[in-house]
């Protein structure tokens, strides 16, 4: 048995559950991952990603040296080129050498390895050149839901303080923006109101738009425990027959995109049968009379016609939820990733208001956040409308407070709302966004309608990628800055429970790679000096100093120090240094005062099935993979699930002459992919499902870029497609990237 040199306790880099990991290290190599039984999040349990999905750290394609395009290096100094070229001749084959072509004979767009000073000087100079020529509106940045709180705080600070823009966003826009907007409007706070482990306190709970078993595996274990050990009743509302259905009291298989009529019909039943908590409505809410008036048409029979769920099942589900002593709602992106994602989430919020199932342990409104630190990145202000702590950028007092903290002249920060992720790319044209900085995100996999996204990426004048691999988006970059993954840096992640936990380096950075926060400090110091724009601080020597600066203004984090979160973290709000944390929110009131009812109407998804495109495509994740696949497809997990598959119902497969494993072409109005079919009753008749992790059959080539008007989240969960049998030789080559980049 191998004896480790040391065991480092840290936090999982994949999903928002935030499981505690113990990395067993020998000779700077992680050879095993375990988890402590006393972890309050996962009690020693880990899913396959947390247990086995860390070997991407050692993948030969990981980039370990800064790289710039040859044309940029030539414009700086030719001596640097020759020196770098000489030094690289003796370099070991790191796997990405094929990307770096012979300087003597190739094009201006070849990647050339260089040193950090050269790469950061080029980056700073080019960003400043564009900023001074075209102004703040030409600058934009994608922060990163996989990076730490400290990394995200610094990157939004850099763009706000130095380039005076709020064009700052990250992938929260693409997952739970609808939930965030609805919760902000209704209660004034967008995080989960209770912790996931409180599911065992529920008598009844609704799981909707969430394949929890694959997306939040440890939470699904807790849900099953609630049913099997504690006698809770689970209601699954989902178009697919997900694994949780096996444990559910009821399954309501609605048609994709018909959430609003179904949930509002449940509200209708609660009112009609006087299951309403009148005290809660009187004491804690506003807008009830107007909401009541809007319910008139949402009878269960009306909803049945739209969503396909029998009216009697809608009645039964409404009674179950409303009559429970403690009931909660857990939802995922099947609610928010729609062009009416905000209304979808609002319809769920109404159920909690009507029954008073909120503000107590074992109740609540719980959007299950996707990425490991999407909650934290949002908390850190990695969004176009908010500073850290969800302080609106267009509020004078908020702006003044951050100007003081960042040593900026009064009025220096922009008061204008910035562009969202999808808007940033669609504004990539002459006179619009010219320079984009991407830290760890992968829009060439995660945006909808990727053929359009590609055109936008091609329009950028300058793109910086700060990442660990040359992924589908970094292929478009002009500069590549090699960052360290989670196992080589310190900081904090905030999980879906609002629990702020430590991330700890288990080994030194490999090659020349550096932690994101250090890269950003060095870059900011260069930009600040050349712009003559002094700011509060860029000379941090440890990430805790960064967290404490942010916590000095953000009251939710005020009582969080690295010492206090050393063992098990703290659940914010933590308003002072002695506060124990707040697992249950809204016990007395909502942040906005009264909870607000908002009358809703039914708006169909933008694309309905028709004769030409008779199927509805819905997309999602798999247990074995994560997002655009930058980490999992470069790990052993790829062997467990190596290729994209489209799920199709047996009745549809028979009509189209498709057998299990056959190659099929799936085509929408925007693109097409060829992949193998899985014939399964997991999906409904007329609905097909494709996971979006596979660049060789990227589901987002098909999806619709229609946006929710308020949250600006795209409609990933429903678009019309056609399915045809295809030939073996039409299957895409998995070694071919979706995009080879601009050059
Ligand atoms: Fe990591 Fe999520 Fe799996 Fe836990 S459930 S091990 S946080 S991927």
Q: Is 15 in the pocket of ligand 1 (CB under 6 A)?
A: yes
Q: Cα–chain-centroid distance for residue 9?
A: 24
Per-residue pLDDT tens over the stretch 401-460: 999 999 999 999 999 999 999 999 999 999 999 999 999 999 999 999 999 999 999 999
Low-confidence winner among 320-334, 386-400, 527-541, 579-593 (lowest mean pLDDT): 527-541
DSSP 138: G
The SS3 of residue 425 is: helix
Low-confidence winner among 33-37, 94-98, 200-204, 492-496 (lowest mean pLDDT): 94-98
pLDDT-derived band at 629 (thresholds 50, 70, 90) equals confident
Beta-carbon contacts of 299 under 8 Å, excluding residues fewer than 6 positions away, are 265, 268, 311
Stretch 145-151: mean pLDDT = 97
Low-confidence winner among 568-572, 678-682, 733-737 (lowest mean pLDDT): 733-737
Q: CATH classification of 6-52, choosing from 1.10.357.10, 3.30.70.870, 3.40.250.10, 2.20.25.90?
A: 2.20.25.90
Task: Please report the pLDDT score of residue 96 as a whole number.
Answer: 43
Beta-carbon contacts of 102 under 8 Å, excluding residues fewer than 6 positions away, are 110
Stretch 154-173: mean pLDDT = 95
Residue 742 scores a pLDDT above 90: no
Point out the ligand 1 atom lying closest to the alpha carbon of residue 372: 7
3-state DSSP percent of the chain in helix, strand and coil, to 5: 35, 20, 45
Q: Is 637 in the pocket of ligand 1 (CB under 6 A)?
A: no
CA neighbor of 667 nearest in space, from 705, 721, 617: 721
N-terminal to C-terminal alpha carbon distance within the chain: 49
Q: Is 370 in the pocket of ligand 1 (CB under 6 A)?
A: no
pLDDT-derived band at 738 (thresholds 50, 70, 90) equals low
Ligand 1 centre to CA of 42 (Å) is: 9
Ligand 1 centre to CA of 149 (Å) is: 18
Stretch 230-250: mean pLDDT = 97
- Measured by CA distance, the residue closest to atom 6 of ligand 1 is 50
Residue 97 scores a pLDDT above 80: no
> Is the fold of 6-52 the same as that of 615-730?
no
Task: Please report the pLDDT score of residue 163 as a whole number.
Answer: 97
Residue 79 scores a pLDDT above 50: no
- Spans of all domains in the chain: 6-52, 111-169+381-494+499-560, 177-367, 615-730
Point out the ligand 1 atom lying closest to the alpha carbon of residue 41: 4
Per-residue pLDDT tens over the stretch 524-582: 999 999 998 877 699 999 999 999 999 999 999 999 999 999 999 999 999 999 999 99
- C-alpha torsion 390→489→20→35, nearest 10: 170
258/663 Cα distance (integer angstroms): 30
The SS3 of residue 620 is: strand
Task: Please report the pLDDT score of residue 1 as a whole number.
Answer: 84
Beta-carbon contacts of 132 under 8 Å, excluding residues fewer than 6 positions away, are none
**Residues 705 and 595 sit within 8 Å (Cβ to Cβ):** no
pLDDT-derived band at 630 (thresholds 50, 70, 90) equals confident
Task: Please report the pLDDT score of residue 102 as a whole number.
Answer: 40
Task: Please report the pLDDT score of residue 49 as a whole number.
Answer: 95
Q: Is 234 in the pocket of ligand 1 (CB under 6 A)?
A: no
Task: Please report the pLDDT score of residue 627 as a whole number.
Answer: 87
**Residues 64 and 510 sit within 8 Å (Cβ to Cβ):** yes
- pLDDT > 90: percent of the chain: 88
- In total, the chain counts a number of residues equal to 743
Stretch 305-320: mean pLDDT = 98
10 compared with 89, residue with greater pLDDT: 10
CATH of domain 615-730: 2.40.40.20
CA neighbor of 364 nearest in space, from 601, 582, 514, 640: 582
Ligand 1 centre to CA of 429 (Å) is: 39
pLDDT-derived band at 75 (thresholds 50, 70, 90) equals confident
Task: Please report the pLDDT score of residue 451 as a whole number.
Answer: 92
Task: Please report the pLDDT score of residue 440 as a whole number.
Answer: 96
- Measured by CA distance, the residue closest to atom 1 of ligand 1 is 50
CA neighbor of 420 nearest in space, from 142, 717, 158, 716: 142
Low-confidence winner among 53-62, 159-168, 600-609, 626-635 (lowest mean pLDDT): 626-635
Per-residue pLDDT tens over the stretch 279-312: 999 999 999 999 999 999 999 999 999 999 999 9
Longest dimension (CA), the chain: 81
Task: Please report the pLDDT score of residue 737 as a whole number.
Answer: 52
Task: Please report the pLDDT score of residue 259 as a whole number.
Answer: 96
Rounded to the nearest 5°, which phi and psi values hold at 349? -60, -40
Residue 103 scores a pLDDT above 60: no
pTM, 2 dp: 0.94
Point out the ligand 1 atom lying closest to the alpha carbon of residue 50: 6
- Write out the two tokens for 571: 């659940």
Task: Please report the pLDDT score of residue 408 as a whole number.
Answer: 94
Q: What is the residue-averaged pLDDT of the chain?
A: 92
Per-residue pLDDT tens over the stretch 656-679: 999 999 999 999 999 999 999 999
Residue 88 scores a pLDDT above 50: no
Q: Is 42 in the pocket of ligand 1 (CB under 6 A)?
A: yes
Point out the ligand 1 atom lying closest to the alpha carbon of residue 219: 5
Burial of 531 (0-12, 13-18, 19+ CB in 10 A): middle
Region of residue 586 (left: phi > 0; alpha: psi -120 to 50; beta: else): left
Ligand 1 centre to CA of 18 (Å) is: 6
* Class of the CATH domain delimited by 177-367: alpha beta
pLDDT-derived band at 92 (thresholds 50, 70, 90) equals very low
Per-residue pLDDT tens over the stretch 263-283: 999 999 999 999 999 999 999
Task: Please report the pLDDT score of residue 739 as a whole number.
Answer: 54
Residue 741 scores a pLDDT above 80: no
Q: Is 622 in the pocket of ligand 1 (CB under 6 A)?
A: no
Q: Is 714 in the pocket of ligand 1 (CB under 6 A)?
A: no
Task: Please report the pLDDT score of residue 679 as a whole number.
Answer: 98
Q: CATH classification of 111-169+381-494+499-560, choosing from 3.30.110.30, 3.40.50.740, 3.40.50.1100, 3.10.290.10?
A: 3.40.50.740
559/536 Cα distance (integer angstroms): 22
Q: How far is CA 415 from CA 56, 409, 589, in A?
A: 41, 14, 29
């Amino acid at each position: 048995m191998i004896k480790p040199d040391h065991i480092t306790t840290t936090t999982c880099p994949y999903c928002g559950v935030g499981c505690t990991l113990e990395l067993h290290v020998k000779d700077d190599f992680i050879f095993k991952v375990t988890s402590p039984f006393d972890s309050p999040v996962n009690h020693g349990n880990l899913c396959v990603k947390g247990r086995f999905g860390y070997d991407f750290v050692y993948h030969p394609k990981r980039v370990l040296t800064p790289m710039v395009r040859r044309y940029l290096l030539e414009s700086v100094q030719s001596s640097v080129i020759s020196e770098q070229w000489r030094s690289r001749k003796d370099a070991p084959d790191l796997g990405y050498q094929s990307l770096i072509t012979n300087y003597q004979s190739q094009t201006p767009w070849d990647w050339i390895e260089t040193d950090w000073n050269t790469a950061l000087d080029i980056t700073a100079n080019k960003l400043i050149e564009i900023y001074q020529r075209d102004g703040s509106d030409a600058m934009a940045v994608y922060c990163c839901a996989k990076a730490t709180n400290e990394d995200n705080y610094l990157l939004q600070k850099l763009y706000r303080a130095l380039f005076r823009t709020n064009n700052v966003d990250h992938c929260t826009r693409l997952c739970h923006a609808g939930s965030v907007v609805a919760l902000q409007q209704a209660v004034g706070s967008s995080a989960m109101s209770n912790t996931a482990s409180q599911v065992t306190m529920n008598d009844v709970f609704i799981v909707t738009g969430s394949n929890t078993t694959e997306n939040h595996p440890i939470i699904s274990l807790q849900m099953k425990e609630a049913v099997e050990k504690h006698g809770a009743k689970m209601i699954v509302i989902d178009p697919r027959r997900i694994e949780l259905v096996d444990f559910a009291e009821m399954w309501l298989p609605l048609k994709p995109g018909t959430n609003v009529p179904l949930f509002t019909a449940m509200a209708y039943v609660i009112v009609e049968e006087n299951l309403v908590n009148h005290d809660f409505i009187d004491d804690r809410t506003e807008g009830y009379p107007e909401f009541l008036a809007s319910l008139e048409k949402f009878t269960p029979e009306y909803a049945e016609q739209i969503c396909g769920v029998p009216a009697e099942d809608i009645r039964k589900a409404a009674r179950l939820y409303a009559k429970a002593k403690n009931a909660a709602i857990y939802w995922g992106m099947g609610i928010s990733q729609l062009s009416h994602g905000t209304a979808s989430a609002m319809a769920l919020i109404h159920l909690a208001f009507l029954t008073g199932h909120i503000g107590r342990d074992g109740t609540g409104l719980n959007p299950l956040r996707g990425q490991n630190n999407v909650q934290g990145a949002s908390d850190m202000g990695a969004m176009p409308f908010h500073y850290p702590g969800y302080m609106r950028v267009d509020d004078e007092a908020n702006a003044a407070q951050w100007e003081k903290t960042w040593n900026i002249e009064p009025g220096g920060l922009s008061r204008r709302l910035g562009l969202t992720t999808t808007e940033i790319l669609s504004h990539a044209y002459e006179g619009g966004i010219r320079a984009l900085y991407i830290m760890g995100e992968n829009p060439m996999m995660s945006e909808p309608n990727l053929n359009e996204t590609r055109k936008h990426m091609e329009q950028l004048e300058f793109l910086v990628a700060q990442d660990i691999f040359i992924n589908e988006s970094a292929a478009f970059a002009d500069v590549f800055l090699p960052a360290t993954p989670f196992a080589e840096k310190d900081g904090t992640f905030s999980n879906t429970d609002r629990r702020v936990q430590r991330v700890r380096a288990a080994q030194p950075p490999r090659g020349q790679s550096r932690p994101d926060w250090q890269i950003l400090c060095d870059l900011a110091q260069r930009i600040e000096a050349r712009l003559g724009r002094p700011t509060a601080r860029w000379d941090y020597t440890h990430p805790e100093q960064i967290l404490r600066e942010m916590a000095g203004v953000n009251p939710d984090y005020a009582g969080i120090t690295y010492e206090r979160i050393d063992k098990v973290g703290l659940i914010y709000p933590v308003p002072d240094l002695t506060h124990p944390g707040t697992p249950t929110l809204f016990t007395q009131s909502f942040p906005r005062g009264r909870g607000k009812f908002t009358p809703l109407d039914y708006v169909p998804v933008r694309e309905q099935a028709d004769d030409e495109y008779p199927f509805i495509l819905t997309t999602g994740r798999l247990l074995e993979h994560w997002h655009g696949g930058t980490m999992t497809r470069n790990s052993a997990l790829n062997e467990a699930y190596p290729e994209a598959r489209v799920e199709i119902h047996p009745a549809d497969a028979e009509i189209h002459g498709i057998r299990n494993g056959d190659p099929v072409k799936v085509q929408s109005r925007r693109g097409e992919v060829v992949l193998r079919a899985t014939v399964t009753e997991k999906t409904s008749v007329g609905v097909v499902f494709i996971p979006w992790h596979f660049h060789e059959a990227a589901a987002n080539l098909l999806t619709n870029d229609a946006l929710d008007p308020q949250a600006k989240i795209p409609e990933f969960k429903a678009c019309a497609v056609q399915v045809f049998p295809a030939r073996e030789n039409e299957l895409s080559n998995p070694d071919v990237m979706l995009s080879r980049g601009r050059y």
